[in-house]
Structure formats: C-alpha cells, structure tokens
Chain A
C-alpha cells in the first residue's frame, strides 16, 4: 500500500535497484554450474568449458522478470487485494461444485471414444495410454495414500513400497504359477496390506516428520532388497514377459481366439489399451467409493479423529493402534491393486519404477490436492502427471532452440520447481474446502485451515 502512495519515480528506482540486486545474486548463483561446464575430452579427462552467453541470458531473464514483477504485477496484486472484500461465493460456483463430479466421471467414461473420434486409431493409443492410464494410476495411488495421509494424518513417504509389493506379487505369481489377473488382483492387494501392517506395526509410536523419514527408510529398504535379491526378483534387470490380463478369458492378440477375432473386429492394439483404461478407471472409482463409504463408518471417523488429535482420540476410548494399522492396511491394499495393474499393463517391471521419486510424486499429489479432498487429488494428478507427460512431446521447441535442445530432460526440473511454486501459491492444496463427513443439523463447508495434519 505504501508503494501506491509514494512517488512513481522513486518506485521505479527502487524496482530497478531490486532488479539489479537480483541480477547480481543470480549471476553469482548460476556462475559455477551454468557458467562452467565439465565435459570429458577425447582422453577421457574432465575439462571445463565456459558458457557465458547462456549465463548472461539466464541472469537477464531473471532480472527482467523481477523488474516486471515489482513494476507491474505487484501493484496490480495489491490493488486487487484492496478491492476483493466480497466474501459471498457466486451462485455459478456452487452449481459448478454440484455438477463437477458427475460431469468428470461421465467425461472419463467416454474419454477413449472422444480420443478415437478425434485422432483415429494410431494417435489414440498415445492419448489413452500416456494420458488416460498413466494419470489414472496416479489418481488411484493418490486416493489410496489419501486414506493414510489425508484421513488418518499419518505422513507416509514410502508408499511406493506397497505399490512395488503389489507389482512383484502379480509378476512372480503370474509367471511362476500362471494364475489369472482376476485371481491375483485381490491376492496382490492382500499381500500389500499384509506388508502395510508389518511395516506399520513398528512405527506406531512415531508421528509427523519422524514417521515420514522411517517410512522413507522402509521404502528404500524394500527397493534395495528388490535390487539385490537376484534369485527372486532378477535384480536390476527386472522381470519381463509378465502375462497380460485377458477380457474375461479372451486374450488380446491376433490369434483366432483373440479379442478382435471373437468380436469380428479388425485387429489393432488399441482394444487392449482401452480395456486397461476402463480397468484402471473402475479400480480408481472403487478406491474413491470405498474411501467415501469408509469415512462414514466408525473406522473412518476414528481416522479423522486421530488426524485431529491423537491424545484426545485415545482419551475417548478409540484404539489408536488398530486405527493406525487399518489406515496403513487400507492404503497399502489399494497400492497393491494399483501395483498389480501396473505390472499387468507394462508387462515388465524393475526396481527402477519404485524409487523414492514415485513416493514423493504421490505424496505431493495428495498434498496439492488438499489433503483429504478426492476431487483435489484427481485434479492434482492430472496437473502433475499430465503436465509432465505433455513435456515429453514438445518437439516444436527444437525448432526454436536448435536440434541439440532436448525438452524431455527438463521434465523433472520443471516438476520439482512446480512443486515449490504450487506450495507457495496454495500451501493448503488446490481444493482447500470440503464437506464434513459428519454434521449436526446443517451441512457447513469447512476450510482446510481448520483441519489438523500429520500429528498422528
């Protein structure tokens, strides 16, 4: 506000000084790693080359955007903050809120056919597989972790371990014993939830950040065991040739007994992809439905009570041990389902798919979604996974920056920085209001600010 009243000239001067300082700091910041590059020469020695132009460009961009921010964006934001006093939510927003979920479910149901109609059989494969199935896997994992983090308030950074247990259970049992996908799906879920209880048991006393770190350690231990237990898991090389799921006994191949032949359709690989799409959609909806129902049951209420205050929860006679273990077990079970689906879809798994980065991604989806909000988790998964998938095919950037420019390597860079930015922009997540599960007389929307987090 003081900026608006002071002289424009001094404001410009201050902005320029600020931009100059930013330029100086960013120059020093990027000097070692951007200004110099270590490369191997012909004799395989490391030598240093300079990248002056890149460094100057980067510093100029940063200083320029800082100048724009303090001259244009910041005053605008302040003016807007002064104006925004109305608290009444407009009617259209309530209508959007009411119709959003049915619309979203309807859209996901017809999505493969929209894609088929718009981009044909060849192009649709990519859109259904990379965007549809890939995002839905993360939506499902997000829903599963939401039970542990969002409802029970147990911060779990090793969630990918259960995903790995599900994937390896399916892969090994299907390959060794030839069980079908439909038998192994529940079995993988059971095994994963068994591991959830097993790993949950020792950490019952821990809370908050400590719990996060121990679960991270467990996740890493499982990954290292998967790498080194070569006799069982084939180590880094992974397991390939995992049997694919069939359409109620009809395999998706080009044979006479295959799906295409039975239904008198021309053979294309898209049928399997669309089948897998509906499979994961059904699994994700199942997870969501079970979570919604569980929130109304005593166990779900106990989870939310545990999240709010463990001591109060215990003094009310809730068995916190069982409550925590059921949360771990339920969360792990859905991860196990997702894992066995993942193995069946890929046909190949290796420990590389179950790194800490995956756990971090799933957790950030849950937190970005707004801790406990299912719609939020789904939107966050679309933003994060869809966003990074889109960055895979930005080949037109090669025309701008030259042929050596590879947009895919910037994918995780932008992903990481995006996590920071979204946290600063909305620390409470995208959907920060929600309906209470239980209410007296009248349903009121509660803000996420009122919800406790991660103390359990």
Chain B
C-alpha cells in the first residue's frame, strides 16, 4: 500500500510533465492535422535553455533566492523555446501547408534529427547534470521500514501545472485568440473567409505549444537535474501516447492521458520490470489506437465518402 501511494505521487508528477508536452501535440494536430514529430526535441531544447538560464542566473548574476531564479528561468525558457518553435513552423512547416500529407511529416522528422544533433554539436554529447535545485520533503506516512514522502519539488510541479492549465484553459476558451484557434480547427477556409488570420493563428498555436513544453522542460530539469541531447525522443513519444489516449484534439484529455501514462509507467516499474517500462507505454499507445482510436475524450472520426 505504501509503495502504491508513493508510486501514485511519483506517477502524477511524471504525468504532469507528459501532460504539458501532450497539449502541444494535441493542439498542433487539432489545428493542422499533423503529428509534430519535432515536439519532443523542442521539449529537449527547452530543458537545455532552462539549464543555461539557471546556470547564468545563479552563478554569473548571483541571484540568491531560488524561487526568484526558478521563476526567471521559467520565463526565459518559455520565451526562447517559443521563438524556436515559431521559427520551426515558419521554416519547415509553413511552406508545406497544402502540400501532400506526408511532406510535413518527413519535414518534422528531419527537424527532429536536426534539433537533437544541433544540441549535440553545440553543447556536447555528454549528460549534463546539476546539483539538486530544491531540496526538502514531507513524510506523509512512516511505518518504520518504508516512508511515503512528498517532496517539495513534486508539490511545485503539481502547483505550476495546475496554475498553467487554468491560464491556458482561459486562453483557449475565453479569448479572441482561442476562438480563432477553434475556428481554424473546424474549417480553415471558412475561418479565413470570416476574417481570421489563419497563418497567425497557427503560428500562435506553435508558440503556445512551445511555451507549455518549456514549462515541462523547466520542471523536468528541476525534478531530474540531468539532461542529454537524446532525451527528446522517448518523452516525445510518450506525450504523444498521452495525447492519443486522451483523445487527440481534446485539451483536458491530453492532461488526463498524460497522468495516466505517468501512472502506468511508474506502476509498471514498481510492480513488473523497469527495463520494459517503455514497452508498457508503447503498448498502451498501440492498444489505444487499435481499440479506442478516438481516445477517452475525443470525438469519433466519421469517415465520409
């Protein structure tokens, strides 16, 4: 039971990170119907940006307060990662809009290879690890031999994710930008006819997706404290799994899917085999797509002749 509760805590933390990345997949897929293969690598780039920002802020500028430093790191990472994703959309996807359907996918795969190798070339192939940023944990239950703990950083991740999701939900549901996004999602031509700037809306979608990936990246850095250039692929595929599980196109679905994937992964590691935890996540992806292609919260895809 203790192990179960501990894994529940860990799983929700991991799942929050997946959920934030999954929103990026689900939004981009919703609006232009494309699996943004490079999104996992955008997440990895954001971890590196956060790492560099953190090191500059604490060692070069000498900011003593960890809370202030983390907040600034979050802002810097969001800003720069958004710029990266905006540029990627402009360079690699926009010229291919309206082209045949495989072209953007191949372009995205190329971009994914480019990003991970770019980071490898500029930052070196070795793992980058930093000492823990935040320490401190609360013991929830202690039965002598096994103590269930909730660490401060896990609490921060939960808090930040929850706050951002509320902001983000407000953005999509209540603002003109969100309305334009939903309009483009339904019918781009029609949206353009009624005066929605489709290009700008799609660009903003990529910017928001990257900003959320950067939040996930900062949290990842704070939680694990280690990153390498190859760390984009697997979280990317798992976040995509989360988006599919929740129902692609559905925002609450992406978050719930993320938490489910996080839970499945941690429970599998605890009770079965840690070597095969990725197999568990990938199998969930395959099983979902085969038996429940519309996901938990998605609309069924009606095929018209």
What residues of chain A have their CB less than 8 Å away from a CB belonging to chain B? 25, 28-29, 31-34, 36-40, 45-48, 155, 202-203, 205-206, 208-210, 212-214, 216-218, 220-221, 224-225, 227-228, 311, 356-357, 360, 363-364, 367-368, 371, 409-410, 412-413, 415-420, 423-424, 427-428, 449, 453-454
Contact = CB atoms under 8 A, between A and B. Distances in A.
Contact of A427 (B49, B100, B120, B283): B100
Interface string B94-124: 0110011111111101111111011111111
Contacts of A371: 102
A48 B276 contact: no
Given A213-B285, A427-B96, A453-B100, A413 B118 contact: yes
Contacts of B130: 46
Contact of B59 (A47, A208, A214): A47
Interface string B267-293: 000000001101100110110011001
A214 B286 contact: yes
Given A33-B119, A416-B110, A419-B109, A202 B290 contact: yes
A40 B228 CA distance: 13
A47 B107 CA distance: 34
9 contacts: A28-B80, A33-B122, A212-B35, A213-B285, A217-B241, A367-B103, A415-B110, A418-B110, A420-B114
Interface residues of B, number: 67
Given A31-B80, A417-B110, A210 B289 contact: yes
A224 B234 CA distance: 12
A46 B128 contact: yes
A186 to B, nearest CB: 29
A221 B99 CA distance: 32
Given A28-B80, A413-B114, A420-B110, A205 B87 contact: no
B56 A25 contact: no
Contact of B105 (A212, A228, A409): A212
B91 interface: yes
B110 A38 contact: no
A449 B99 CA distance: 9
A416 B117 contact: yes
B290 A25 contact: no
Given A32-B80, A202-B286, A424-B95, A38 B55 contact: yes
B286 A32 contact: no
Interface in B116-138: 117-124, 126, 128-131
A454 B101 contact: yes
B117 A427 contact: no
B276 to A, nearest CB: 6
A419 B279 contact: no
Contacts of A218: 282, 286
A415 B113 contact: yes
A203 B293 CA distance: 11
A220 B282 contact: yes
B286 A364 contact: no
Contact of A423 (B55, B60, B96, B278): B96
Given A213-B237, A453-B100, 5 more contacts: A25-B83, A38-B123, A46-B128, A224-B276, A413-B118
Given A413-B118, A416-B114, A416-B117, A32 B49 contact: yes
B75 interface: no
A45 B55 CA distance: 11
B78 interface: no
A155 B34 CA distance: 14
Nearest to A235: B275
Contacts of A213: 35, 237, 240, 244, 285, 289
Contact of B290 (A214, A225, A423, A428): A214
A374 B115 CA distance: 31
B92 interface: yes
Nearest to B234: A220
B51 interface: yes
A406 to B, nearest CB: 9
B123 A364 contact: no
Given A34-B122, A48-B52, A217-B286, A210 B293 contact: yes
Contacts of A416: 110-115, 117
A368 B105 CA distance: 12
Nearest to A415: B113
A413 B117 contact: yes
Contacts of B293: 205-206, 210
